[in-house]
Amino acid sequence: MVLRRSLRAVAQGMGSLGGCQVLNRLALVTGMLAASAGSLVAQDGPASGSIQDTPTARVTDTSSQTAARPWNQWRGPQRDTRFDGAAWPAKLGAENLKLVWEAALDASYSGPITDGTRIFTTETVKKKEETTKAYDLATGKSLWEVRWPGAMTVPFFAAANGSWIRSTPACDESRVYVVGMLDVLVCLESATGKELWRIDFAEQYGTGKPSFGAVCSPMLDQDHVYLQAANSFFKIQKQDGKVIWRTMIEEGGMMSGGSFSSPTFARLGDRDQILVQSRLKLAGIDPQSGEVLWQTDVPNFRGMNILTPIEFNDSVFTSSYNNQSYLYQVPAQFGGKAPSENVAMSWSNPAKGYMSTPTVIGDHAYLLLQNGRLACLRLQDGERLWTSPKKFGDYASYVTQGERFLMLTDNGMLRLVQASTEDCVVISEYQLPGIKDSWAHLGMGVGANGQVQVYVRSISGLHVYDWTAN
């Protein structure tokens, strides 16, 4: 059975609190909340007795199923920032966001993930090794640690904030999938940390290590893991690491090789596909065959296409550094509604995104701009409805529930924001004590007593909070 995955929410954005409307009275807050193409290289087929290439499974857009799925990969179980578990409290602050436990760690950009029992994170140790660690989610007890050589120094401006492991891992019921800086994918047993298999893409495909390190966060789907590596896009069998197909192969090089973006599922028209953004192109990939259904160049500066592309009404939204924001319409023969054969740009807007994938609520994207301000874009026509007067930070990650979203910026400021098309409305904000640098994606879950939990990976540690109504 093919379960359809709905990608209605997007984005990450940055913006400044200054000048935004901050609402402190609980009564007012309560009143606001109405409801809580490259070459295709086929690999050998599955061996006898192995997992077959079954239809692509999707997470349905229902609260019950989503609530049962832990925050197990980049941008959450549906890769769209949505959290449909326990209802959120009306505000956040020192009185109701309580630290449960924390662990000191070396640096990482990887967001924390969980299988519901354990929480996993990565780090780069002494510029020599990469580490994956597992902790008991309830108590913070260290369960296991696995290390391998894997550090590298990234060039130019990218080194300003450190040369640390970048990709957010993914996990299922029994395994963790970790991507190291040197373009290596390692599969670990989640209960013990035992290595089950690995793929060294740089060595196996002769592409060498990516100049800026591997960045793409692996995507899980039923029996397979999908990943941009070796200047291409892969479908890999979870059971044994067997490559099912390799597609969207590009030449590579410092300004075009090694993806900065991560893939996501979409359904355009009546066709399931995977949205993949390389450093130069945006494409739709058939999940079964690996066929490049469509692709288009994305205007870019030195290949800095970083955002996870977002599905919207048979079109795809993205934005790139030193350029603009774009909505591309996909033709009918590739699952969309446009009559022409070529992918058409529906609109462009001077709003410059950068590193933070926006969150989408309704028909609007909340995007952190290159200048650190938060903007609201109407996706139907690209009109910018508002921009925060001041800067929030250089990076932001999001978790969304209903008409509100949490936004964590790199300076450790956590904000609860109302999704408004009129103005930037910050309901409440809280500076996380002792956290000044957090470039990893925010995570969320439900504790043993049904309370909302917030997971933060700062540069120097892992922090688990209870977020309660009191």
Provide the b/e sequence for 180-214 (b: ≥16 CB within 10 Å).
Answer: bbbbbbbbbebeebeebbebbbbeebebbbbbbbb
Task: Please count the helices (runs of H) and the strands (runs of E) in the chain.
Answer: 3, 34
**What pLDDT score was predicted for residue 158?**
67
β-bridge mates for residue 267, sequence order: 272
**What pLDDT score was predicted for residue 363?**
98
Residue type, 167: S
Q: How many CA atoms lie within 13 A of 438 on its CB side?
A: 28
**What pLDDT score was predicted for residue 163?**
81
d(CA 305, CA 309): 10
**What pLDDT score was predicted for residue 441?**
98
* 3-class DSSP assignment, residue 396: strand
**What pLDDT score was predicted for residue 205?**
96
Contacts of 23 (CB under 8 A, 6+ apart): 29, 32, 418, 425, 426, 427, 428
**What pLDDT score was predicted for residue 248?**
96
**What pLDDT score was predicted for residue 461?**
98
Check: CB of residue 424 under 8 Å from CB of residue 388. yes
Check: CB of residue 404 under 8 Å from CB of residue 418. yes
Check: CB of residue 119 under 8 Å from CB of residue 464. yes
d(CA 6, CA 368): 23
Name the stretches of the chain with pLDDT < 70.
1-68, 157-159
Backbone angles phi, psi at 121, to 5 degrees: -150, 170
**What pLDDT score was predicted for residue 63?**
35
Residue 148 CA to its chain's centroid (Å)? 24
d(CA 109, CA 169): 11
**What pLDDT score was predicted for residue 243?**
98
Query: Which helix (DSSP H) or strand (DSSP E) does residue 361 occupy?
Result: strand 359-361
User: So where are the chain's domains?
Assistant: 21-45+73-467
SS3 content of the chain, % helix, strand, coil (to 5): 5, 40, 55
Task: Summarize pLDDT for 184-221 with one digit per residue, the tens.
Answer: 999 999 999 999 999 999 999 999 988 889 999 999 99
Of residues 82, 61, 23, 22, the one with CA closest to residue 361: 82
425-431 and 21-22 as β-strands: parallel, antiparallel, unpaired?
Answer: parallel
Q: For domain 21-45+73-467, which architecture applies?
A: 7 Propeller (2.130)
271-277 and 97-104 as β-strands: parallel, antiparallel, unpaired?
Answer: unpaired
Of residues 260, 230, 258, 257, the one with CA closest to residue 243: 230
Contacts of 28 (CB under 8 A, 6+ apart): none
**What pLDDT score was predicted for residue 59?**
39
To 5 degrees, how large is the angle CA 165–CA 436–CA 360?
A: 70
